[in-house]
A and B are shown apart, each in its own frame.
Chain A
Amino acid sequence: MENNTAQAAVAAGAQRKTSRLGTFARKLKQQRVLVFMSIPFVIWLFIFKYVPIWGWTIAFQDFKPALGFWDQTWIGFDHFKFLFGDERFLRVLRNTLVMSGINLVFGFLTAITLALLLNEIRRVAFKRVVQTVSYLPHFISWVVAASIIQTTLSPDGIINQVLVWLGFIDKGNEILFLGIPHQFWTIFGASSIWKDLGWNTIVYLAAMTTIDPAQYEAAEIDGAGRFKKMFYITLPGIKAVVIVLLIMNIGYLMESGFEPQYLLGNGLNVDYSENIDIFVLKYGINQSNFSLSIAAGMFKTVVSFILLFAANNLAKRMGESRLF
């Protein structure tokens, strides 16, 4: 297959190349307005995002910020070896993936559900109030939020009090939620959803505004009920946005956040709370080892790219809208 195309290309020879280039140039000229509208920003992108990539070389050096590029000691893959060689690596990788997976799946489901439910509220004033209130926790920093979560989950916190009151547990046997290792993922997931649920719905609500009300009216005439309209009009109406967001977020699976794990983590739940970022913080940043954090960043980028292209291809094959 590859051979064939190669041969074909050789056979076609140079003339086709020039003519292709010619068409390209002609088209480019035709589309010069579009070019002017986008290329300056590509230049911006190149300078601000691509130029600093030279910093990746730091991952292969025993980096000392005071030294010039040529004076650094090159040490090859030592930092990668340290990262992958540590017995904890698999565990922190697992924790990273599970927690970002939780965020991805539940974050999406809850946000879309809430957006759908909000869309069903006919009282505009009430709807606006709910929306405004639901996005408030987003503005509270994780430090403050974590402290509220810790208080709520503590043995004398409200959750334990309710459980005692309901008779599920006896007084004196209150549950130390943050001390149960495997419960950390639940707590993490619930906290993340609680904090960003309202915020995450905004984009879906905006997407719903593009749905033509005439569609609903037509459906009603056909006798469609509420759920039918939800499933056959509203959801398809926001599908494109959902899929594009989903693909983007799959690319972010290596990023599970840092603050909640750091703030809610402790010696008891460390086996479930420590993720790559925290590992890098302990052994890289806190020891002024910039190289290790860059090596970890590179690893994350590689995985992200693989996931991103895979997800995008999958979407393409399923005939859905895709990212690129």
Chain B
Amino acid sequence: MASGSVKAAKRYKIKKSTGDHIFDICNYTFMILLMIVTLYPFLNVLAVSFNQAQDTIKGGIYLVPRIWTLDNYAYIFREATIFHASFISVLRTVVGTVLTVFCSAMVAYTLTKQEYVLRKFVTIAFILTMYFNGGLIPTFLLMRDLNLIGSFWVYIWPGLIGVFNLIIIRSFIEGLPESILESGKIDGAGEFRTFVSIVLPLTTPVLATVALFSGVFQWNQWFDVFLYNSSDIDLSTLQYELQKILQNSNTTNSSGSISGMISGMSGAQSSVTPLSVRATMTIVASVPIIMVYPFLQKYFVKGMMVGGVKG
């Protein structure tokens, strides 16, 4: 595969026409513009997170902080709960992602088997669920009756299979050349073994994609913590703790003024504002998950599939 692309690249160089050149220039220019537009919000948030909160209120922070400070980060990390919550976040992300990728892929594989008698039934049963839900309260009562409230597994079970992911994986498996899957059969491998030893390795790019989708989803979730585990600090997640801190900074600044009035706290002394906390928590919450991307990226920048065919 690697040698193939090098060869292809070489040939490109030889054949490059003026049209190609113009295209390349346009393409690269476009990409650079795109990067500017998409990098800006992140840099802006970063700058706000490092700028003194009271100064940020005045507005006008774009790419660089006006008054540097680490106070915003200190404000967030002074909460000891953040660290344990981060651990839970990592745990649910890893466990949730691994399980959902494996299970979705397995079901997806059975749905690519034309001869499978339940194929149509299972497919439609899954797809329909994308377009309805019973509502908040019935779901809450279900979790309660399944004894999932106050449990880590309430983060995992409801999202065990993502139908969207399932369908994407199915499309990919369907795209695999029949010959490879057949070759597995000839060896006398059972369906499950074919799935584990042939299908899974061949679909790495899509599994990486799906892993990214569900990983990000798990990482960002806080609503289920709010609904089911809000009073159990041991099961709290990073995102939920950050939401709390944000709320806290909100009330420090507005309605909390009533309590400030009574106890004689002058609001001027509050070092944070919701604006700054929101920016800081965006960074704290997103940087870890963004870091994962480059590791997964190699799987969809270069496909594994072709290597499989040739090897």
Contact = CB atoms under 8 A, between A and B. Distances in A.
A141 B37 CA distance: 16
Contacts of B133: 49, 52, 297
B279 A48 contact: no
A135 B42 CA distance: 11
B205 interface: yes
B297 A38 contact: no
B192 A213 contact: no
A217 interface: yes
Nearest to B176: A210
A114 B286 CA distance: 23
B142 A210 contact: no
Interface string A38-60: 11011011111111111110100
B151 to A, nearest CB: 15
B134 interface: yes
A244 B297 CA distance: 23
Task: Give the secondary structure class of A's interface.
Answer: helix
Contacts of B30: 117
A141 B131 contact: no
Contacts of A143: 278
Interface stretch (A82-90, A167-175, A181-189, A199-207): A199-207
Contacts of B147: none
Nearest to A140: B41
B227 interface: no
B228 to A, nearest CB: 14
Contacts of A300: 131
Range of interface residues on chain B? 35 or more
Task: Give the secondary structure class of B's interface.
Answer: helix
B124 A324 contact: yes
B305 A205 contact: no
B4 A133 contact: no
Contact of B286 (A140, A208, A220, A251): A140
Interface stretch (B72-80, B84-92, B113-121, B259-267): B113-121
Interface in B123-152: 123-139, 142, 146
A120 B44 CA distance: 30
Which among B19, B24, B131 has the greatest number of chain A C-beta atoms within 10 A? B131
Nearest to B289: A139
A81 B41 CA distance: 43
B208 interface: yes
Contact of A41 (B135, B160, B302): B160
Contact of A54 (B38, B113, B134, B172): B134
A31 B301 contact: no
A232 interface: no
B209 interface: yes
Contacts of A210: 172, 175-176, 205, 303, 305
Interface in A142-199: 143-145, 148, 151, 194, 197-198
Contacts of B132: 53, 297-298, 301, 304
Interface residues of A, number: 95
A305 B131 contact: yes
Contacts of B42: 136-137, 139-140
Interface stretch (A8-16, A100-108, A123-131, A260-268): A123-131
Interface string B20-31: 100110011011
A209 interface: yes
Contacts of A58: 135, 137-138
A-B CB proximity, top 9 nearest = A209-B303, A52-B134, A55-B138, A55-B134, A139-B286, A52-B138, A304-B131, A55-B135, A49-B129
Given A42-B125, A135-B38, A137-B38, 16 more contacts: A28-B117, A33-B190, A33-B191, A37-B107, A37-B192, A50-B129, A55-B138, A136-B41, A136-B42, A144-B41, A197-B34, A206-B205, A210-B172, A212-B306, A217-B4, A304-B132
30 contacts: A28-B118, A37-B109, A38-B107, A41-B106, A42-B122, A44-B160, A47-B146, A51-B134, A52-B138, A58-B135, A118-B31, A120-B24, A121-B31, A128-B297, A128-B301, A130-B35, A133-B38, A135-B38, A139-B285, A144-B278, A209-B299, A209-B302, A213-B5, A214-B306, A217-B4, A225-B17, A241-B171, A241-B175, A245-B168, A251-B131
